[in-house]
Structure 1
Amino acid sequence: MRSQATLTALALVSSVSAFWRMPCRSQTGVGRLDPIMDPGEISDHVHTFSGGGGFGFNADYGTLNATGSCTSCEVTQDHSAYWTPAMHFLYSNGTSVMVQQVGGMLVYYLYYLDHVKAFPAGFQMVAGNKNTRNFTGPFPDTDLSSWPTDPSDQFFLQQRALGFNCLNYGKDPEPSLYRHQFPTKDYMDANCQDGLRLELAFPSCGNGSSDSLDHKSHMKYPSLVKEGNCPEGYDTHHPFLFFETIWATNSFAGEDGQFVLSMGDPTGTGYHGDFIMGWESEQFLQNALDTCQNPSGNIQDCPLFNIQSDATAATCTFPVPDALANDDVKGPREGLAVGIPIQNGPQPATQYLVAGRSSVPTSSIPSTTASASFSLPTLSYTAANPSITSTAQGGIIIDKVSIASTSTSAASSSAAWSALNKVEYASSSSITEAPSATAPAPDIIATSYMTTGNQVVELVIEEVEVTVTATPSAAARHKRHAHKHAHHAGRR
């Protein structure tokens, strides 16, 4: 029969049947562009972009897949565009700088719903609301068993589709989608020693359309954000997209100021993201969804994918449009780029003048260079080197198995950890000695990754067969089968 720690872990495995972990460790660009919300004109805030290099004011499926186009993601057949707002640090004297993004973006394609269909050519969507400035729910979230089974309150689900994960690789990881607004600056300084991971879940229930007037209404969240019941009329099940970006907030520990998103949001509740389908064809993506279902989540395990090196991916960028050539988006500069007010809420944010648009010249917005007494923090990250970044670890898959038993005691947590087989990989990719050849081959349930320093730790959940004199009960023999069909009622 299986050890108790392993049984506990199995009982908490979520109902995802397969997934891909798509690293896009380099940015294609940074700037005030948003071809979904602001096609053909300057956007009202700064975004960071990953994916297809055929990007610009009017990017679409065609431009992303034009002849000779490239991608900053590891799979060359994926020219999709993925973007989110940038994070900035606003010093108390009014000077702002962009926080360094660590390791680009990690994009998950997960199968939570059944009969998952590929995004069609021309598909695009937006998740989140840039104007939200308030989260009124409890912290942490109530158990999923208490959530409504009717997903009619999409605002409730939208707010819980945001996550701000405090990273400290010396401690057990926080769950994904654990908190839905920024921690305070003091909390981050004291606890988030390895930065802040911003998380965004996209809706996966579709009505069969490729887009809608607001770029949101054609998609809805299921009742538990990731899984559950889809709203009536939203019977097309697409992959569950999940974005992770890590920001080096730890570089500003002890500095006097605040973190803000590029649209002037100091709360985080306005976090959002955009996606344009750019896979080489809908049929290729469908074939991949049907074929590439290795539970490891590694794109290398899919025979259909052509994998390029991070160095090659890092060469993929898009040209900065002439209208944005003089934008000083990274700073140091006076205020946010460009002339964006800070709106604290709790009421929704309101529209402001956009520099360079609607007869508002960019030159009329103040910008400054660093004074003699001002210096940027020294950062030790190299964005395209996965051996020293934490983007490759991911969070949502680590959360598939809770590293704790039903007891909250330290002893119980330690017992659960004993169900994990840790295999360390040095930056040279050398592997520690393999288990004895006489040991039975483990039945691997799930794999996840955690980066610390220059080592990547692979966490492998195994079934462990233990010989005992007692005869297992029928219930024990049935337990693994039952967990696959049980309603997922624990926290994410």
Structure 2
Amino acid sequence: MVEQVGGMLAYYLLYTDAANPNGKITAFPEGFQMISGDKRQRSFPYPIPDNDKSSWTANQKTQSALSQKALGFNCLNYAANPEASLYRHFLPDKEYLDANCVDGIRLELMFPSCWNGKDVDSDDHRSHVAFPDLVMSGSCPEGFGTKLPSLFFETIFNTYAFKGMDGQFVLSNGDPTGYGYHGDFQMGWDSSDFLQSAVDTCTNASGQIEDCPLFNIQTEAQEQQCTFKDVDAIKDDNPLGPRDGLPIAVPIQSGPSYATVYPVVLAGDETQAAATSTKASAQVTSAASASAVVPTLSYTPGTSSITDKYGGGILLANTASSYVQTESVSTVTAAASLANAETDAAGNIIATSWYTSGNQVMEMMIEEVDVTVTATAVETANAHARRHVGKEHRRVRGHPRR
């Protein structure tokens, strides 16, 4: 098991509906539940990295597309310029993580923030909510006009502790791609009224919960006094490892096809689990295996990142603007063209993606192309408060193949 760093951070980003910027943000009602992400997803049929949001097509703004763009795998190197939130929608392979992510990987998950205003849940835990058309911000679709707090989860894992060791990183649901990352939310505040008060009154620009007078914050020592009683059925299980395979023989499924539903096996029924695991492993195609080859990329040195300094909180839209991935404002003094850019002999394939075209499954090979420009950045008033601002130093082009 890879060590978690700092626990899971939750952000309540107070974005209003772009179609109704003066509208109210409504707290989650009592009994509210929702899921973001799909544990069986193993492919991403859209450009990697995202093309500029202003050029997203209607197909790229469907709820299916937005839900897949709501996942992020942020390569952390605090000695370099930070990557933007939700910049990468897949888990980089171990070679890439070893070479580049010296401070680990930050898994990011955005939840839908548009609600139909009546149902606290639905059969699939999804149909009663929707994403705005820019994932984090933007306009809500018709029928989902009630704006909720924009919930954003972050969890950092110390993948760099395994540098140089053989193996691969796998999510606990048997997903080595990251496309199946997902999360749940259940309304657990003392009351919806209290959360509404926090949304309405926690206006300190820092976004830190310590700066909101409504909250009584425990010290770390107090937190550690809270313990859980061991559950008899799993008290002898060793989740830390090393172990042979995932717990309850969860099969590792690389895709790109939709992952199968594996049985939850009870103690004493490992035979069925082993058979399921073998069958699922056989589904990994040679093309999927080839997609794991990602050459090393170097970082451009930058200023120290302040990523994860604040540790979760409630952030107003005007101080949370860094969550919207936009182009940097700059004055370009020398034009650059992909047609004139040079690539190295290795081709610099940095990622692969899969999509369906008719009755064919296509593989998109994403190639790094270095483009040099001279630009002067325009400083913004709240740049010091930006938490995830990253500067793009590469352009990519895709090469589809069957």
- TM-score of the aligned structures, taking structure 1 as reference length: 0.57
**Aligned position for 2:27:** 118
Aligned to 1:331: 241
1:108 lines up with 2:11 in the alignment: yes
Amino acid of the structure 2 residue aligned with 1:224: L
Mapped to 1, the partners of 2:136 and 2:373 lie a distance apart of: 30
Match in the other structure for 1:406: 330
Equivalent position SS for 1:116: coil
**Cα distance in 1, alignment partners of residues 325 and 155 from structure 2:** 22
CA 334–227 in structure 1, closer or farther in 2 if over 3 Å, else same: same
| C-alpha separation in 2, matches of 1:248 and 1:126 | 26
1:255 Cα shift? 1.2
SS at match of 1:284: helix
The amino acid that maps onto 2:149 is P
Residue in 1 that maps onto 2:149: 239
The residue aligned with 2:358 is none
- Contact 1:150/1:223, CA 8 A, preserved across alignment: no
Residue 132 to residue 236, structure 1, CA distance change in 2 (3 Å): same
2:45 maps to what in 1? 136
Q: For 1:267, what is the secondary structure of its paired residue?
A: coil
Aligned amino acid, residue 110 of structure 2: A
Q: Does 1:342 align with 2:342?
A: no
Deviations 1:361-391 (A, max 9, x none): 469878xxxxxxxxxxxxxxxxxxxxxx964
Sort the Cα spacing of 1:228 and 1:306 in 2 relative to 1 into closer, same or farther, 3 A.
same
For residue 201 of structure 1, the aligned residue among 79, 85, 110 is: 110
1:228 matched to 2:158? The reply is no
* Identity rate, percent: 52
Q: Quote the Cα distance in structure 2 between the aligned partners of 1:287 and 1:302.
A: 11
- After the TM superposition, which residues 55-70 of structure 1 pair with which residues of structure 2 at under 5 Å, given as runs? none
Cα RMSD after superposing both structures: 3.0
Q: Which deviates further from its counterpart, 312-321 or 132-141?
A: 312-321
Say if 2:46 and 2:60, in contact at 8 Å, map to a contact too: no
CA 1:132 to 1:402, structure 2 compared with 1: closer, same or farther past 3 Å? closer
2:37 touches 2:183 (CA, 8 Å); kept in 1?
yes
Tell me by how many angstroms 1:151 deviates.
8.6
Q: Is the 8 A contact 1:323 1:356 kept in 2?
A: no
- Alpha carbons 2:112, 2:130 under 8 Å: kept: yes
The one-letter code sitting in structure 2 at the alignment partner of 1:181 is F
Q: Which moved more, 1:288-297 or 1:320-329?
A: 320-329
Assess, with a 3 A threshold, how the Cα gap between structure 1 residues 316 and 222 changes in structure 2: closer, same or farther.
same
1:186-335, aligned counterparts within 5 Å? 186-208=95-117, 209-335=119-245
In 2, Cα distance between equivalents of 1:187 and 1:150? 30
Any unmatched runs of 5+ in structure 1?
1-97, 367-388, 421-442, 451-458, 460-492
What does 1:18-167 correspond to in 2, within 5 Å?
A: 98-113=1-16, 114-148=23-57, 153-167=62-76
Q: Distance in 2 between matches of 1:152 and 1:401?
A: 15
Structure 1 residue 323: Cα displacement = 2.7
| Pairwise CA distance, 1:404 | 5.7
Mapped partners of 1:410, 1:313: distance in 2: 50
Paired residues for 1:338-377 under 5 Å: 338-356=248-266, 361=269
Are the counterparts in 2 of residues 103 and 390 from structure 1 also a CA contact under 8 Å? no
